[in-house]
A and B are shown apart, each in its own frame.
Chain A
Amino acid sequence: MSGRGALSSGRPGRVRVASGQGFWGDDLEAPVRQVEGGRIDYLMLDYLAEVTMSIMQKQRSRDPGAGYARDFVTLMERILPACVERGIRVVTNAGGVSPQECARAVAEAGRRVGAGGRARIGVVTGDDLMDRLDDLASAGHPLANMETGEPLASVRDRVRSANLYLGAGPIVQALEENATVVVTGRSTDTALTYAPLVHEFGWSWSDWDRLASGIVAGHINECGAQASGGNCSAEWWSIPDLSGVGFPIVEASPDGSFVVTKHLGSGGAVSLRTVKEQILYEMGDPSSYITPDATADFTTIRLEEDGSDRVRVHGVRGAPPTGYLKVSVAYGAGYKAVGTLVYAWPDAAAKARAGARILRERMDRLGLAFDQVLVELVGWDSTHGHLVGHPPPDIPEVQLRVGVRGGDGAAVGRFTREIAPLVLTGPPSVTGFSGGRPRVQEIVAYWPALIERTAVEPEISVEVYEL
């Protein structure tokens, strides 16, 4: 059952880490295809985005047993027996704000499908700062916003979640203790891929180049099929069989170099183009990709085609990490709602704009004040703005899309009641209102901050237990 068995796979000395999920809501069948479609040693499943943590926090406040990706439990019920059978180990951040509850649910599911006594679960905790915010503030940690410099105190009463980004250390520890499944809360997405490599190859925590190479591997894996043909802007029509797209697999060597590939016979494509697009996705300064374990220099990456659907990655250079960990805070920042109507030919765009003007005038008469009102014409300018010029009078149809946001939830609520009346009281040849009133949503905004490692690392803990 030990992951060491990985080293006896088809290519000795290589470890295959498969990506099975790029976000909470990704293709539910992808991880099953990764397990069934050929040899892999590890399956990494990324469920978390910045906004996800606050959604999970909200779920936990209603039900203390909730606050994690339940999809993951359902998935493990399907694939854990096969993983145990084949020696595949699973690393995931599905734990959200309730990693222990998540692990418990996986253990129960595992026992239901006969994996009891044959697997171990590892849980990583200590990333959740929600209950420690005031202590940290009084100990002199302002958690100032990285973009504005404002101290967290200014939104303290509206904080919905606060989590550290943890590195690979705790995951590696769980793997050393023979965990079959490792569940974390807010670990970095990249760590889910390179923690298994650190564990398998015994890399030193000061081997910056190998760690950096692992970070690049993690960045390529973390968005699922975006590295293997999904959402690829280079001749998208030529990418085969996206309905059965093979998610990426990183086939790593002890020296840190790796090949990006996918299962033989799966759909999609792994090429220089697909890999380059994913490397550049959500990229800041490419020479300084900071993680808790190392800083990777993406300008040193070397890529080569290595046969069909295989791209070799090598040459990556790294540097030490900083003395800080990143903190992701989510806080309530008012309310928003978006309403839509569809206007048809003739003069569809002019009618839509007239409808929007009438709507604005009515809101003014009602004295409703918002921080922002945004009017877009979907089908014309909602994505490329002024770059497309003015709509032709013969445009067949446009969707009027009006959004408002502000601190006054009641005003936003009233806005949602002003859309439908436009159908009978505004310009003609209008439809598309059958979806009902728009929903008022609380805006949960994101507050990035840094904190000294020494202030928070002692609370990080790893627990591994038998299923």
Chain B
Amino acid sequence: MSGSEELVEVSLLELAHARSGDKGDTANVGLIVYDEADYNIIVKQVTPERVKHHFKDMVRGEVERFRLDNLCAVNFLLHGALDGGGTVSLKTDAQGKVLSTALLRMKVEVPRGVAARVRGRGRLPAGAAGEGG
């Protein structure tokens, strides 16, 4: 990939939104592309191996991936991500609620045109209502 000049890096945050939750000591992260056209980028690049590498020791066990082509979404199971899970875990995020955005930090490579289309997505636009008090 790195040899191609047409490809540039964007963060997953710009391509997809996500929600995460828990089942025992396993966290799940559902990753949903904003545009169906970008689904293949996720399928090809956001592999279980890359996700495992992204999280490193934050996920002690295996990473499994399930495709939901019907929703242009993928579901990851992060085994051993919650330090024992729900009530046992000492973690602030004992239920993995914000592992969703932790995954959205990952970088993927996309053609320049795609990058131009998605740049800045996922972040509060300047002057938007959510800002300030």
Chain A contact residues, CB within 8 Å of chain B: 50-51, 147, 226, 231-234, 236-238, 273, 276-287, 298-303, 333, 336, 338, 372, 374, 376, 378, 382-387, 401, 403-405, 443-446, 448
Indicate with 1 or 0, residue by residue over B83-106, a CB within 8 angstroms of chain A CB atoms: 111111011110000101110110
In the bound assembly, the distance between CA atoms of A380 and B56 in angstroms comes to 18
Q: How many A-B residue pairs have CB under 8 A?
A: 131
Inter-subunit contact A384/B32 (CB<8 Å): no
What's the dominant secondary structure at chain B's contact region? mixed
Given contacts A276-B73, A280-B75, A384-B105, contact A446 B86 (CB under 8 A): yes
Most buried by A among B73, B77, B104: B73
What's the least CB distance linking B119 to chain A, in Å?
15
What's the least CB distance linking B12 to chain A, in Å?
11
* Residue in contact with B70 in the complex, picked from A299, A378, A401, CB distance below 8 Å: A299
A300: which B residues are within 8 A, CB to CB? 70
Inter-subunit contact A273/B32 (CB<8 Å): yes
Inter-subunit contact B90/A283 (CB<8 Å): no
Inter-subunit contact A280/B28 (CB<8 Å): yes
Segment at the interface with A among B17-25, B37-45, B109-117: B17-25
In the bound assembly, the distance between CA atoms of A444 and B58 in angstroms comes to 23
Find the B residue at minimum CB distance from A374. B90
Chain B contact residues, CB within 8 Å of chain A: 17-19, 21-25, 28, 30, 32, 34, 54-58, 66-71, 73, 75, 77, 83-88, 90-93, 98, 100-102, 104-105, 122, 124-125, 128-130
In the bound assembly, the distance between CA atoms of A282 and B96 in angstroms comes to 10
In the bound assembly, the distance between CA atoms of A9 and B124 in angstroms comes to 41
Given contacts A233-B18, A383-B98, contact A283 B28 (CB under 8 A): yes
Inter-subunit contact A286/B75 (CB<8 Å): yes
A283: which B residues are within 8 A, CB to CB? 21, 28, 30, 66, 75
Beyond contacts A276-B71, A338-B90, A382-B91: 12 other A-B pairs, Cβ-Cβ < 8 A, are A51-B87, A233-B101, A237-B125, A238-B128, A276-B30, A277-B19, A280-B75, A282-B28, A386-B57, A405-B88, A446-B24, A446-B86
Given contacts A284-B77, A299-B70, A446-B85, contact A374 B18 (CB under 8 A): no
Find the A residue at minimum CB distance from B31. A280
A338: which B residues are within 8 A, CB to CB? 90
What's the least CB distance linking B54 to chain A, in Å?
8
A226: which B residues are within 8 A, CB to CB? 19
In the bound assembly, the distance between CA atoms of A446 and B24 in angstroms comes to 7
Give 9 CB contacts A-B under 8 Å.
A276-B73, A277-B17, A280-B19, A280-B73, A300-B70, A372-B90, A385-B58, A386-B58, A387-B102
B57: which A residues are within 8 A, CB to CB? 386
What's the least CB distance linking A401 to chain B, in Å?
7
Find the B residue at minimum CB distance from A240. B129
Inter-subunit contact A374/B87 (CB<8 Å): no
Most buried by A among B21, B56, B57, B69: B21
In the bound assembly, the distance between CA atoms of A336 and B23 in angstroms comes to 21
What's the least CB distance linking A391 to chain B, in Å?
16
In the bound assembly, the distance between CA atoms of A298 and B70 in angstroms comes to 9
B102: which A residues are within 8 A, CB to CB? 383-385, 387
* Residue in contact with A51 in the complex, picked from B58, B86, B122, CB distance below 8 Å: B86
Inter-subunit contact A384/B30 (CB<8 Å): no
Given contacts A233-B18, A278-B19, contact A405 B90 (CB under 8 A): yes
Find the B residue at minimum CB distance from A280. B30
What's the least CB distance linking B90 to chain A, in Å?
3
Inter-subunit contact B87/A445 (CB<8 Å): yes
Find the A residue at minimum CB distance from B66. A286
B24: which A residues are within 8 A, CB to CB? 147, 446, 448
Find the A residue at minimum CB distance from B75. A283
A382: which B residues are within 8 A, CB to CB? 91-93
In the bound assembly, the distance between CA atoms of A303 and B92 in angstroms comes to 35
A299: which B residues are within 8 A, CB to CB? 67-70
Find the A residue at minimum CB distance from B100. A233
In the bound assembly, the distance between CA atoms of A226 and B19 in angstroms comes to 10
* Residue in contact with B17 in the complex, picked from A273, A302, A384, A445, CB distance below 8 Å: A273
What's the least CB distance linking B129 to chain A, in Å?
6
A403: which B residues are within 8 A, CB to CB? 90-91
What's the least CB distance linking B13 to chain A, in Å?
9
B88: which A residues are within 8 A, CB to CB? 333, 336, 405, 443, 445
In the bound assembly, the distance between CA atoms of A372 and B25 in angstroms comes to 16
Find the B residue at minimum CB distance from A445. B88
In the bound assembly, the distance between CA atoms of A370 and B70 in angstroms comes to 47
B28: which A residues are within 8 A, CB to CB? 280, 282-284
Given contacts A284-B77, A286-B75, contact A301 B91 (CB under 8 A): no
In the bound assembly, the distance between CA atoms of A94 and B72 in angstroms comes to 36
Given contacts A336-B90, A384-B102, contact A277 B32 (CB under 8 A): yes
* Residue in contact with B91 in the complex, picked from A302, A376, A404, CB distance below 8 Å: A376
Given contacts A233-B17, A233-B101, contact A282 B86 (CB under 8 A): no
A287: which B residues are within 8 A, CB to CB? 66
